[in-house]
Structure 1
Amino acid sequence: MTKMKNKYSILLPTYNEVENLPMIICLLVKYMKNSGYNYEIIIIDDGSPDGTMEAAVQLQAIYGKDKILLRPREKKLGLGTAYIYGIKHATGNFIIIMDADLSHHPKFIRQFIEKQNMEDFDVVSGSRYIGSGGVFGWDLKRKFISRAANFVTQILLRPSATDLTGSFRLYKKDILENLVENCVSKGYVFQMEIIVRARQLKYSIGEVPITFVDRVYGESKLGSSEIMQFAKSLVYLFGTT
């Protein structure tokens, strides 16, 4: 397919991202427009009390309803379900998922697309653990926890990917729909399970090194409950894949 025949639906789940949303939308529009790709941005807000949805409405007025789609939900229902909800409203044949807190820079999207085109990958995943990839803004404790979790996961699950917990990826839409049907996780570990299921179903996975930058505004959504959920899901996936 040519560049313009492909369409990329960018899913942006949000919860209390009123400070970050205008900047990430501005950057996405800039990079996608300058690259000449056909795209849409789908904002899936989970009832943020901080005015995120109001900001989204203003951004839609600026950039147009054809580029900014608003698909809000009444309350916080989890990251995995946000992606499932977003896919239903996507009109592109490719899906890009990323965080709205500026930890993922849109400049890497072009590399994702080029990587996918090279070998017709089913999935292209951003990795903090290969080549020029890395993490900025984390203290040593958080970096150690991330590395340790990834190391243990690699040993137990053999996922054919170096970064299981990252959430910056490109999928063929039909492949992602099938993966979602096979996943049981709905929260933070959804990202990990979907890559493990991709390996299990023998889908091809390409990787692009990315730099992850810790959020400047707002609070991290990762807490002790998510860490416990990760550990439980790791055991479950080890036993079922």
Structure 2
Amino acid sequence: MLGSSCRTSHFKGAIPQTVVIEFPPSAMGKTPKYSVLLPTYNERQNLPIIVWLLVKAFTEANLDYEIIVIDDASPDGTLEIAKQLQSAYGENHIVLRPRAGKLGLGTAYVHGIQHSTGDYIFIMDADMSHHPKFIQEFVRLQQQNNYDVVTGTRYSHGGGVYGWDLRRKLTSRVANYLADILLNPGVSDLTGSFRLYKKSVLAHLISVTKSKGYVFQMEMMVRARQFNYSIGEVPITFVDRVFGESKLGADEIVGYLKGLWALFTDI
């Protein structure tokens, strides 16, 4: 049976341009470190921009960070670009953990966690659909409430979607509506993939998640509620990718519906 102690909180208003977040030292005498997991496949054009934006966001907020690039043997030379970025920003901030081929999103996160040194972990898309300017709000909300998970939402006050045609918007809305009816997840955007986790929580959720593809992110939230992890929400604006092609097609939609039903019968 699903638990019911999940708490949800919202931030309203404009995102501040530059905010330095002050943290009290931990018992070990250090401030928290944040790891960003960036699975990539054919993101040669997007990767330099998203990394620059991430570095800017973490630096302005005075946060300790690392960006872990998990490239699945992209034929467009994404890994070569990642190596150049590592030379520019340093090995302590840009960590390269390539794999031999496309092995799935879940295993990419497991791979990233195994090589991460952060106390908290961000997951997000590398195609610039998720803007790093919201990172400060994720961190602030998590620290204020000690949430286990903070997830970005496109469907609460202050959030939104840009660059999608009507068909894509309807697909997303219907997907979230069906999931809400069947699973009662307690979050407004179940299919989003811009989130902040406590490292141990993410590792646990991945270990119990069975789905693959687009259902993977949805099941992570359902499992989080099942295990009574606390969840906060931050309104975000989602922008369709500028470079490259969307990986969402008819096969993915059918797979989502099958996965949703399987998750409903399992939970």
TM-score class, shorter-chain normalisation, is over 0.9
Which residue of 1 is the match for residue 24 of structure 2? 2
> Structure 2-normalised TM-score?
0.88
Which residue of 1 is the match for residue 197 of structure 2? 171
> Structure 1-normalised TM-score?
0.98
Partner of residue 188 from structure 2, selected from 162, 165, 170: 162
Q: Equivalences for 1:127-206 in 2 at 5 Å?
A: 127-206=153-232
Structure 1 counterpart SS, 2:171: helix
Q: Partners of 1:98 and 1:194 in 2: how far apart?
A: 14
Which residue of 1 is the match for residue 45 of structure 2? 19
**Residue 84 (structure 1) shift:** 1.4
Per-residue Cα deviation, 1:31-79 (whole angstroms, up to 9, x for no partner):
1011100100000000000010000000000000000000000111111
Q: Partners of 1:204 and 1:128 in 2: how far apart?
A: 19
- The percentage of counterpart residues that share the same residue type is 61
Q: Does 1:105 align with 2:131?
A: yes
**Residue 80 (structure 1) shift:** 1.6
Which residue of 1 is the match for residue 98 of structure 2? 72
Of 179-188 and 128-137, deviating more is: 179-188
Structure 1 counterpart SS, 2:147: coil
Q: Equivalences for 1:40-51 in 2 at 5 Å?
A: 40-51=66-77
Structure 2 counterpart SS, 1:55: helix
Q: Partners of 2:130 and 2:77 in 1: how far apart?
A: 22
Letter in 2 for 1:102: M
> 1:81–1:186: 8 Å Cα contact kept in structure 2?
no
Which residue of 1 is the match for residue 5 of structure 2? none
The answer to which structure has the higher helix fraction is 1
Which residue of 1 is the match for residue 248 of structure 2? 222
The alignment yields a C-alpha RMSD, in angstroms, of: 1.0
Which residue of 1 is the match for residue 141 of structure 2? 115
Letter in 2 for 1:163: D
Q: Partners of 1:205 and 1:138 in 2: how far apart?
A: 27
Q: Partners of 2:129 and 2:107 in 1: how far apart?
A: 21
Per-residue Cα deviation, 1:188-238 (whole angstroms, up to 9, x for no partner):
211001000001111000000000000010011112222122111111111
Point out where structure 1 has 5 or more consecutive residues left out of the alignment.
Answer: none
Q: Partners of 1:189 and 1:89 in 2: how far apart?
A: 25
Structure 1 counterpart SS, 2:66: strand
> Highest CA radius of gyration, 1 or 2?
2
Per-residue Cα deviation, 1:60-114 (whole angstroms, up to 9, x for no partner):
0000000000000011111121111111111101000000000000000110000
Which residue of 1 is the match for residue 152 of structure 2? 126
> 1:80–1:188: 8 Å Cα contact kept in structure 2?
no
**Structure 1 residue ranges, 4+ long, deviating more than 4 angstroms after superposition:** none
> 1:79–1:187: 8 Å Cα contact kept in structure 2?
yes
Q: Partners of 1:2 and 1:91 in 2: how far apart?
A: 19
Letter in 2 for 1:33: T
Q: Does 1:32 align with 2:67?
A: no
Of 221-230 and 198-207, deviating more is: 221-230
